[in-house]
Amino acid sequence: MRDLLKLNAFFALILFFLPNIAWAYVGPGAGLTAIGSLIALIFAVIVAIAGFVWYPMKRLMKGNSTVDEEDEFETIEKKDAGENNNQ
């Protein structure tokens, strides 16, 4: 029974990937739109994958030299206070 199911699935895939002649015309506007959309989709997937890989790698390479939020806030406060005293 399983062999028959596998055989039917195999033939269904073969029929799916062997198209008949479509006797259709795709105009230049629709064709360029389809090609442009496909290129944009591929580019978006590549950029998304690169973002998910690059930024964690960048953070790992940077190490533990990150500044805590409290330290950064104090630095900004000191800088602002120094600018206000000079005026």
pLDDT value of position 22 = 73
Angle at 62 between CA 75 and CA 51, to 5 degrees: 110
pLDDT tens string, the chain, 87 residues long: the values are: 778 888 899 988 888 888 777 777 889 999 999 999 999 999 999 999 998 888 888 888 887 555 555 555 666 666 666 655 555
Question: Which residue type, as a one-letter code, is found at position 64?
Answer: N
pLDDT value of position 34 = 94
Q: How far apart are CA 80 and CA 76, in angstroms?
A: 6
Cβ atoms of 26 and 34 within 8 Å: the answer is yes
Residues 27-40 as b/e (b if ≥16 CB within 10 A, e otherwise) read eeeeeeeeeeeeee
Nearby residues of 26 by Cβ (< 8 Å), 6 or more positions away: 34
